[in-house]
Structure 1
Amino acid sequence: MLDHPAVEDIDLTTILAALGDPIRLAILGDLARSTGTALCCADFRELTSKSNLTYHIARMREAGIVHVEPSGTRRLISLRRADIDSRFPGVLDAIIANAIALPSPFGPEGCGLQ
């Protein structure tokens, strides 16, 4: 089981620091485009190497931005939008508005899992 910060432990400066990286910002944009569908790590493989991607997803999980759910050999990644919005209303929308303007190297189909 992976550790995720509790809602009350999500910190704005940690979120902003995590999203200061262009790869993580691109991941956020693609998660926002997926409109609630969990994506797999493999869906982001065109952004960077597998080991580097694992690092970026872990930083986002530790910051409370994403929830990572092991599913067999996959890890499903979803945005913790409701949790972040409850702590910092409107902040995520402003960040996402800029993140989704970034081009995505892959479509919103994700793993095909709903």
Structure 2
Amino acid sequence: MTDRESSRTLAHPEPAGIRLEGVLHALSDPVRLSIVRELAGAETGLACSHFPLPVTKSTTTHHFRVLRESGVVRQTYHGTTKLNALRRADLDELFPGLLDSVLTAAAAEAARRQ
């Protein structure tokens, strides 16, 4: 790995370091939950710019950082694009049923608000 490649590697918690309270905190924000809902339906990683969020660019960066540092998403660089993918397998193993329950509840709430 070159110096340039190592400087573009983002820190992610190992599965053993993912804590329930961190995941719940990350999922408690409506903007972050909307990101997770979109990622849950994606077959591949999505760029940060894919999400039309109602916040500033710096706040968007903050939301993705919270999701990454809590272990909810994995971010990788593909050229100059930062791709985001849900860490579903890790979350399902650590907290069985949690992610599906949250996503189901979020979908039900969204349907009620329409």
Shift, 1:37, TM fit? 1.4
Paired positions, count: 102
Residues 92-103 of structure 1 correspond to what in structure 2 (within 5 A)? 92-101=99-108, 102=110
Matched, 1:91 2:107: no
Please say if residues 53 and 60 of structure 2, whose CA atoms lie closer than 8 Å, have aligned partners that are also in contact: no
CA distance in 2, matches of 1:94, 1:77: 21
The answer for the alignment partner of 1:71 in structure 2 is 78
CA distance in 1, matches of 2:106, 2:41: 10
Superposition TM-score, scaled by structure 1 size? 0.83
DSSP-derived class of the 2:55 partner = coil
Larger Rg: 2
**Higher relative contact order at CA 8 Å, sep ≥6: structure 1 or structure 2?**
1
Higher helix share: 2
Pick closer, same or farther for the CA change 1:100–1:38 going to 2, 3 Å.
Answer: farther
Contiguous gaps of at least 5 residues in structure 2:
1-8
Contiguous gaps of at least 5 residues in structure 1:
104-114
Please say if residues 68 and 75 of structure 2, whose CA atoms lie closer than 8 Å, have aligned partners that are also in contact: yes
Superposition TM-score, scaled by structure 2 size? 0.83
Identity of aligned pairs, percent?
Answer: 42
